[in-house]
Structure 1
């Protein structure tokens, strides 16, 4: 049931407008973790980050330790909203109910599923507007797919869980109003092929890759047998001020000053659309940004705006 991906397959495919009082690390952390009211959160398995800089084409990671890439099943990391199906209800990773239309959930199986609600690459903001609405837009939900990647209630190791999931999705494909889709996993034998696949996905506006060890059991919390691989790192910060733009951005927002939960303050001036520069997110807004490592002062390097965080579920 597992496809091995080959190299041939890969290659074919200065003036602050306003600033708040400094935020303490605790206050910043509270704001970053502010959530909608939720039920008890499901005990989901969460991934640890795999640093791209630590991999090399000799199947080694940092300190020349062998990385058994062939022991992992690899899939695309979808830019969606994590959704847990408990057999009767869809919830977010924090336990908040997802108000999907009745037709969307009525034919889902009665077993627990773990996956992502997803539209397509580059459509995360549109997805958020659909999924987080308490009154579901029936027509908009017609475009949403439930991309399933795991069976949380199974006591089998992942390779066997995945094979079971493949059969489940195949059986369900003929159900009326089917919304279930499989997140396809492949086995890769070389790190060089892994990084090629990552490049292709990112160049086509994807997020990255997920690697799950074939013998990994479903456990709650983070595990080093479930890894996420990106070309960048992600973090959150709170907007505390704006800086006016110059040149082509004259009369618009040029950059924002932000503060992280560990009290690091810096500015971000890239990643914004022209519309966002005309109407920047309000001071106090939590945003997500991307970066590549840290400076000697511990400031995120090459920080660029990614999106507004409406809640921890987005």
Structure 2
């Protein structure tokens, strides 16, 4: 009887969740206008691009006064962490090291900063959004600025050149073998502009992106009485079910409506929906 009541309650809750639109967040309206990456396509000309490691951390945007996430929420860093930072904006990644995304996310999400945890983070700066020059010009200014801070937890992201796709793939393989997530390509002649374009490209061994949770679909069979799949919405407005990759704990306590999740996939259908999509994690740095 208890199990039957639990299932009925879960079904009622799930049905309600499907009918309720994802909640809006005040931080959404205050989100910084960031340069975002497209996906590298083999065969693209590499002349003029800088190459760096793709750091698996939390996007951090210093607006000259506050450290904020990609979604616009304020990051409550210890006062010493941002002391002496410039009035001009810095764009970078709050990074705890290779394979330590969960550590970076939990540290930056705390309302009361954990001083010891923050001492394990680095702010990897990769751009100066308010600088009016090309990336070639911004890169020199960025390196000079970071060096002037003399703070070991603030570092300029190392950049290099590669000439061919074969060299790029070899560098990607070495990076992934060492525990890295992938690579980034930044067009040297480009100016900083918000949104996605080929000025910034990500190079990975798999495709991944993010979608917003808009519903909870009840499970069946072995998943009866708990989550079967998430109903997620892409930025394009298209929706699909995301059930593969969820742990038992995530099925018992699903990501809330309105939260953003990362999923992996292998190519797309003609409709634009992902093929073989698999849940990876919740993105707490997006409201």
Q: Shared fold by TM > 0.5?
A: yes
C-alpha RMSD of matched pairs (Å): 3.2
Corresponding residue SS for 1:120: coil
Find out whether 1:43 has 2:17 as its counterpart: no
For residues 65-93 of structure 1, the C-alpha deviation after alignment (integer angstroms, 9 at most, x for no partner) is xx320210011111122112122221222
Aligned-pair distance for 1:228? 1.9
Query: How many correspondences in the alignment?
Result: 272
- In 1, the alpha carbon distance for the partners of 2:62 and 2:54 equals 19
Find out whether 1:125 has 2:102 as its counterpart: yes
Change (3 A) 1:105 1:218: same
1:234 to 192, 209, 212: 209
Change (3 A) 1:155 1:282: closer
Structure 1 portions without partners, runs of 5+: 1-14, 61-66
Change (3 A) 1:281 1:204: farther
Aligned-pair distance for 1:197? 2.1
Find out whether 1:281 has 2:254 as its counterpart: yes
Change (3 A) 1:36 1:148: same
Asked if 1 retains the 8 angstrom alpha-carbon contact of 2:219 and 2:225, the reply is: no
- In 1, the alpha carbon distance for the partners of 2:256 and 2:70 equals 27
Aligned-pair distance for 1:153? 2.0
Residue of structure 1 in register with 2:133 after alignment: 156
Residue of structure 2 in register with 1:11 after alignment: none
For residues 155-176 of structure 1, the C-alpha deviation after alignment (integer angstroms, 9 at most, x for no partner) is 2211121122223333333x4x
Aligned-pair distance for 1:99? 1.2
Find out whether 1:306 has 2:283 as its counterpart: no
Structure 2 portions without partners, runs of 5+: 1-6
Find out whether 1:134 has 2:111 as its counterpart: yes
1:200 to 171, 174, 180: 174
Residue of structure 2 in register with 1:63 after alignment: none
Change (3 A) 1:294 1:43: closer
- In 1, the alpha carbon distance for the partners of 2:88 and 2:185 equals 24
1:220 to 168, 171, 194: 194
Find out whether 1:258 has 2:214 as its counterpart: no
2:47 to 55, 70, 82: 70
2:15 to 12, 16, 20: 20
